[in-house]
Structure 1
Amino acid sequence: MSLWPVYTGTGEPHDGVDRLPAPPPWRAFNGGPELAPPTEDEGDPATSPDRRHRARTYRATDRAVQLVNAALYLRRPLLVTGPPGSGKSSLPYAVAHELRLGPVLRWNITSRTTLHDGLYQYDPLSRLYAASRTGPKARPQDSELQDHLRLGPLGTALLPYTRPRALLIDEIDKSDLDLPNDLLHILEEGEYEIPELVRAARHTSSAPVMVDGTDTRVTVTRGRVRCRAFPFIVMTSNGEREFPPAFLRRCVRLELPQPRGAHLEEIVHAHLGEPSAYTQELIARFLERGTDGELATDQLLNAIYLTGVSGIEATSRDELAEYLMPYLSRARDAMDDLGG
């Protein structure tokens, strides 16, 4: 029986990820002790309705299906580039939903983000304060270190789960110049250390540490974390900067174009049902206007939904649709663009 593709893009949940062949020898990891992956339901309270909806309605292109599978088989991160509204950040939610990988971990990148932010956060001041409340003779070590330490999204993804966790590193092109290079070692080795726990290992060899997104605790031994199933990592970029060649060659690269034609109609149908005659007109107008400036699919979906439920008359409906689809790539605002 053919094992390709594991991710099909149909959106129907299945356990195909358990049939992945063994990784290439240079991408085999042996972290432990093994952890059972969380179920999708465990992350529902922390997952927005928008993300759950998009996970179920995402429509992947054939190229996206092929390259997602390449990333899964090779145990490599997927670098996804494309304009706003092309579905970059929705892709990991769709893959996690179909392959039952549990809640998606999300790491939003800014110009101030460091690798440390993604691995773990430790608050020594809160620990010192907690120790001071136990009595005048208390020392900082009397307050449990692990109570003031939480793994970040990248740090959680690299725990030794038996199935890969899904991690979205969103808008990595917003990072400073050092972050892509800093990620190289972590993504190659699939492991990291928590120095605070390494130093404490002479007193206790293991510590129960909280993970990202929930208050669940996992045991970290001697301050070292090593993955078992390499996570499914999607890094998104708007294409606004170049990345170092060493970084790029360690990624599977996917470029998503703005949805057009039949693909766009399929997306509309998945989100809002069978298109009406007026919806078809809006789609045609969206495609025509998209040749003059940058538009996002979200704008079209908002316009279709609102003009369909508002019950306003036709002339006002057309004007409202225009207001909801301003160009993203122009400096002047929507009113100026419409001659207002």
Structure 2
Amino acid sequence: MAAGNEQTEKKPQSNGLPPPPFELPYPDKPELITSNLLKLVELTPNERHKFLLKNLVRHMHEFINETSLTTEEWMTAIQFLTNVGQTCTPIRQEFILLSDTLGVSALVDALNNPPINGATESSVLGPFFTEDAPEVEIGESIASEGKGDYMYVEGRVLSIDGKPIPGATIETWETDGNGSYDTQYEVREKPDCRGRLRTGPDGKYGYRAVVPVSYPIPGDGPVGELLTAMGRHNMRPNHLHTMIEAPGYQKLTTALYPEGDQWLASDAVFGVKKSLVVGLKEVKDDAEAKKRGFPKGGAFKLLQHDLVLVPTSESQAARERFAAERAKNALA
């Protein structure tokens, strides 16, 4: 073989751990497979990991037993998850999309962000968040000209006691007027319809955007095929994603959903909460439009909404109370 053409064989390596310090029966019965694995899970040093793995194994094995899962169905599931992984790219997260459409994302969000009186409720992150949103000043636009109908978004970021929060970071992203995120275009020259700004000394924020439109989540991958097989639509109502951070406060990931959209209640990713449905005011004032920075003037939509954050300590206490109540109800 010519020099430089040698292929190095990559053999799997032992992780160096010894056999378990207890005897296990041969797993020649279905129930022994489960019991043996649960015994091995007890070796997990991290208590939280052990707890999660025990419940995962128990519920997964119960599912297989209850459904009498066939070998063909098992292989179909393996291939499906393989396809989900292969569909992921640096700017497309098919696993998050799968989690969203199965209600997992919304459920995790709901359990970790229980409602607190007076605070803005959370919503799902979605698969189209990116880390490269450009910095914009108050009053500037997050969208290039021609990306859709004009919309101005304004309000305040407040604490639950009504005090303004200056310097809070607001990250926002949305679809354009075609119902597409910038990451869905074959050529993405720069981030668009997304931006990052900070509240002023009075907690106020404001920026130019476009009116978002309802859109189908990607249907060209395995998640889209799953929804079709289930007889479910793949539509999301129009919405504006918002993420707010401020020192001493719980990070808030949420979205605002303009009222009147036909897909609100049956959102494909279960992201809509009633308190997040907002009204859009139509402003037909050319001078006002130009004053707010819209180059062509004319009519625009106005979205006015205050965003209310919870101090970190209060948020943690609320999660603990919520978890305790759920545990108590589970034992009842």
TM range (shorter): under 0.3
- Between 1 and 2, higher relative CO (CA 8 Å, sep ≥ 6) is seen in 1
Query: Which has the larger helix fraction?
Result: 1
* Normalised TM-score (structure 2): 0.24
* Normalised TM-score (structure 1): 0.24
